[in-house]
Homo-oligomer: A and B are copies of this chain.
Amino acid sequence: MVDEIEGLPVRARSSRRSRAGPTISDVAREAGVSLMTVSRVMNGKTNVREETRERVQSAIKALNYSPSMAARNLAAASEIRIGLLYSNPSAGYLNEFLVGSLDQASRANVQLVVQLCERPEERAAIVQRLVEGGVDGVILPPPLCDADAIHRFLQEAEIPAVVVASGRPPAGLSSVSIDDRAAAAAMTRHLTELGHRRIGFISGAPDQTASALRLQGYGDALSEEQLASEPELVVQGLFTYRSGLEAAQRLLALVPPPTAIFASNDDMAAAAVAVAHRLGLDVPGDLSVVGFDDAPQATTTWPELTTIRQPIADMSRAAVQLLVDDIRTVRDGRSPSPRHTRMGFELVLRQSDAAPPA
C-alpha cells in the first residue's frame, strides 16, 4: 500500500526472488545432473546410481540446500493440514502434547491448526468450521477423545481422526494410548508390596473412558492380593485439583483412614497431599500419596510425587504420524483401516510413597 504512494515502484532493487536459500536447480547445476535426479535423491528413490547419488548429496551439502516446503506441497498436491482440538487444558499435559505434535508435524511437513474447543455445545460447530476451513484430519487428545458428538460429525464428513488416550476408541478411528489398566495395576501392586492394605482410590472424570480402566487396574491388583475392594475406599473425582481436595477429605475422614491414596492423576494427588498436610499428616510418613501422568505438577509439589509416567510427547508424535498416513490413504482413494498404537508407561518412584506407619 504505502509503497505505492508515488505511483512508482519504490523498491525496485529486490527482484522477485527473495528467498535466501539455493534452489533445486542450483544443486542440479553444481552436481552436473538434471533437476529430476536431484529430486529423486531428495526423496530417497532407489533408481539412482550410487555414484550419482553421492555427487548430488555432496552438492546438497556444499550449497546447504533445503527444499521449499511450499513448492513441494504445491507440486505434489500433498498439502496436509491437521487440526488439533483441545479442551480443559491441564497445562502440563497439553504442553507436552503440543511439543510432540509440533515436532512431528514439522518433520512430516504438515501444517498444524490448534483450536480450543471448550463448551460441549459448540463442539460440533467448531469441528465443522475447521473442516470447512480445509482441515484434512483431526487429532483428539483427552478429554475430547471421548466426545461422541465430534466422532459422529467426523464420521459423516468422512474426515480421518486419531484419538489419544481414550479407553475405548470408537470404531473406525485410529488411536494411541497406553495400557491404563495395566499401569494402574502396577502402581497399586507397588503400594501393596510396600505393605499397604487399605488403599484409597480417587477416580477420574466419569465422562473419560480412561478413568474406568484405571479403576479396573486398581481392582485387578487388589484381587491379586486377595484384598477385598471396599466401596468406601473409592471416591469419585473429576481430574481437577478442586475435586481432588474434596475426594481426599472424604477418604481421610474414614475410620480407619487409608494408609495410601492413589489418585487417577497428579493434580488430584497434589490436592490429596495438601489435604493431608492440613490435617497434620506427614507424607509419606503417615500417608502415601501417588498419582498418574507425571505432569509437571508432580515435581512442583512437596514431597515430589511417585507417579506413572506417560510418554505424552511420543504419543502425540505417533498420533500425528498415524493421522498423516490415514489422510494419504484416503487421498489415494483407499479407505484407511484403523490402527491402534499402544505405548509403554513407566513407574516413577519419588518421595511421596513409603511403607505404612507401624
Contacts and interface: CB of A to CB of B under 8 A. Distances in A.
A326 interface: no
Copy number in the complex reads 2
Interface stretch (A17-25, A51-59, A117-125, A316-324): A17-25
A62 interface: no
A147 interface: no
A172 interface: no
A226 interface: no
Contact of A95 (B13, B20, B94, B300): B94
Nearest to A21: B134
A11 interface: yes
Contact of A91 (B91, B270, B277): B91
A74 B74 contact: yes
A66 interface: yes
A358 interface: no
Instruction: Report the interface size class on chain A.
Output: 35 or more
A33 interface: no
A35 interface: no
Interface of A: 11, 13-14, 16-21, 64, 66, 68-71, 73-74, 77-79, 89-92, 94-96, 98-99, 102-103, 106, 111-114, 116, 132-134, 241, 245, 267, 270-271, 274-275, 277-278, 280, 295-297, 299-302, 331-333
A216 B103 CA distance: 39
Nearest to A114: B102
Given A106-B111, A111-B69, A274 B296 contact: no
A299 to B, nearest CB: 7
Contact of A70 (B74, B96, B295, B300): B74
25 contacts: A14-B331, A18-B78, A18-B331, A19-B77, A19-B79, A20-B134, A64-B132, A66-B133, A68-B79, A69-B70, A70-B74, A91-B91, A91-B95, A91-B296, A92-B92, A92-B95, A99-B116, A102-B102, A103-B114, A106-B114, A111-B111, A267-B300, A271-B300, A278-B302, A297-B300
Contact of A274 (B64, B79, B99, B301): B301
A350 to B, nearest CB: 13
A59 B81 CA distance: 24
Nearest to A89: B95
Contact of A134 (B66, B94, B267, B332): B66
A296 B89 CA distance: 10
Nearest to A271: B302
Contacts of A71: 70, 74
A77 B18 contact: yes
A241 B103 CA distance: 28
Contacts of A116: 99
Contacts of A16: 77
A68 B74 contact: yes
A300 B241 contact: yes
- Which residue of A11, A90, A95, A267 has the most chain B CB atoms within 10 A of its CB atom? A95
Contacts of A241: 299-302
